[in-house]
Chains A and B, each alone.
Chain A
Amino acid sequence: MKRALWKGRLVVAEHAVPVKLYAAVEDRKVRFRLLHAKDHAPVEQRIVRKSTGEDVAREARRKAYPIDRHTAVILQPDELAGLEPPAARELDVCRFVDAALLNDQWYDRPYYLGPDGDAARYLALAEALGKQHMVGIARWVMRKKRYLGALYLDGAHLMISTLRRAEQVVSFSQVEIPKAQAPRPSELELAKQLIESISGDFEPQRWHDEHRERLEALIAAKLSGRKVVAFKPKARAPQSGLTQALQASLARAREQDVA
């Protein structure tokens, strides 16, 4: 059981669905604190005026917005407060578009939406959304910040992922591929066979963050006073011609398939 981060109403045209919002991401990053090497005491951070090294109290600090490559403008606390979006409990779905229009570049951070109280309208919206290959584009305000997100159905539950803003997404039309010699039909066929021989379902639990696991093991070993052994990666096979490489890869993939 996790606590909801936010409660509100999901609004689709004239309909409102009471929902709770939950984080879908579990933070597993290994975090360190900074210590003083000599006495292993934790460090404190202070904010100083660079030119004098004098401490600057919180009340005396300001924020400046960079407006071009050489200039910034100080924004005063009352001015920034004036830009804060008004608090609201509505998650407004203003648009529905084909899911394919928003590719992986847009998606940022996923959240689950669960029903708050009576689930009748939640279920009805989930079912209606499940019938279409659509995502909803939603805006809401949470903890004094504006959010933009995509609403979609994942299995039996509604999810909302925050989206990057239009200014952040680089269009692939800005990318051009230099003209290459077209692959031969025989090479295309070999590549297709190779892809098919190492195809399968997406099974995310097959892959682990080995780096994080080694680090956790290092910490565990340190805590119990054991010696730490360094990790050695395996070497790679050398490269030959394209067709030969495809054939060799295919042969190897087939061997592994049998084994």
Chain B
Amino acid sequence: MPSRARSNGSSHSARRRAADSVDVPVRSFWSGTIAFGLVSIPVDLLAATRPRQTSMKLVDADGHALGRRFRCAKDGKELDQDDLVRGFETSSGELVPISDEEIEAASPEASRDIELHRFVPFEQIPRAFYVRSYFLAPAGRSAKAYVLLAKTMERTQRVAIGSFVMRGEAHLVAVLSDNGVLRATTLRYADELRSPKDIGLTKPKKKAAAAQVRRFTQAIEGLMRKTLDIAELEDRQAESLRSLAERKREHGKDVIALRGLVDAEEPEGSAEIIDLTDALRKSLSRKTRVATQDASAPREQAASVRKIGHARAKRSAATRDLARTSKSELLKLAAELDIAGRSKMDKQALVSAIRKAG
């Protein structure tokens, strides 16, 4: 598609929206430790991707909120969560009930470690393995081990293949350093990817005609650019939904309150068929809430790594007896709070500057 001429209005609105979504706090929903040999590196996990802005809510023609209810196919009774059990459907169509306890017994032990198994050259990982990416932010008192791992991976041009458990699911990940920031990208398992042979694609027997290759090479060169044009990568579906909705709002048509509305898209497939992740999330949430109270403490304010450090410093500043804190600790806090001129301050000045900032 040749780059489409875009009206100023739509591109402006897209950019504004992109800027808006930056402000949406990226929540840290997993805290744990990278196990690099016997070195432990505490980290917070932050989503490096955002959901698309195309999801809609379910209502009736008058804008009333709709919801989903379950009913027994046999006796027609309306059912609560407590009346439900998971069943596995065999190839012959038999339904075998599986209890929550049985599922929990098979689920991975809630672990707080990202174990690094092996370091590999980054370019060896085919793109088809990538699933979803997360930033790893240093969470400990000192970021030294974090910096050490990031620096060394960059120097050796390697990434680590590791594994960890998140929301009751075991993930394979590539941990890589991107300009000093560690990122964990979940990977597909090998048996989740088909080979060309599985598809029925065979290795070509003949060679391409040189003249034709030249024509394609020229075509590729003609379309080459040194940088990404973000306009070519924007969400046109989200854009058209939003501009339609905005037009209607200006005319005061079909405008309703968002409160209480549920998603129109079903989580995945049909609601009668749930995947394991949801099942485990439900059964594990009770267990992990106790075990990880500290890790799941409110971190909503964490829009970026810097902000996390900042927030932690603020909390620390608020709860600590600053007058009894050593000068070097105060300097650390001041650094995390970005207090200007801190290196020239005496202890008294540091305490008051931290109190003001915190």
Contact = CB atoms under 8 A, between A and B. Distances in A.
Given A73-B249, A148-B233, A166-B234, A112 B201 contact: yes
A29 B88 CA distance: 12
A127 B328 CA distance: 61
B167 to A, nearest CB: 12
Given A37-B85, A45-B70, A183-B151, A177 B146 contact: yes
Contacts of A198: 37, 116-119
A66 B65 CA distance: 13
Contacts of B215: 15, 124
Given A44-B272, A168-B52, 11 more contacts: A13-B222, A25-B194, A31-B276, A48-B66, A67-B242, A75-B245, A79-B244, A101-B227, A167-B50, A179-B143, A205-B190
Interface string A40-66: 111111111111010010001111111
B75 A41 contact: yes
A187 B36 CA distance: 13
B87 to A, nearest CB: 4
Contacts of B95: 33, 35, 40, 42
| Chain B CB within 10 A, most for which of A37, A83, A253 | A37
B318 interface: no
A28 B138 contact: no
Contacts of A181: 142, 144
Contact of A215 (B144, B223, B276): B276
Chain B: interface size category: 35 or more
B179 interface: yes
Contacts of B340: none
B138 A178 contact: yes
A109 to B, nearest CB: 9
Interface in A187-213: 187-188, 191-192, 194-196, 198-202, 204-205, 207-212
Interface in B215-235: 215-217, 219-230, 232-235
A23 B216 contact: no
Contact of B57 (A25, A64, A104, A245): A64
Interface SS of chain A: mixed
Interface SS of chain B: mixed
Given A32-B87, A66-B57, A196-B156, A237 B38 contact: yes
A214 interface: yes
B295 interface: no
Contacts of A218: 98, 102-103, 105-106
A112 B48 CA distance: 26
A170 B48 contact: yes
A254 B35 CA distance: 17
Interface residues of A, number: 164
B254 to A, nearest CB: 4
B10 to A, nearest CB: 13
A142 interface: no
B170 A152 contact: no
Contact of A26 (B52, B193, B240, B309): B193
A175 interface: yes
A17 to B, nearest CB: 9
B192 A28 contact: yes
Contacts of A76: 254
B18 interface: yes
A79 B248 CA distance: 11
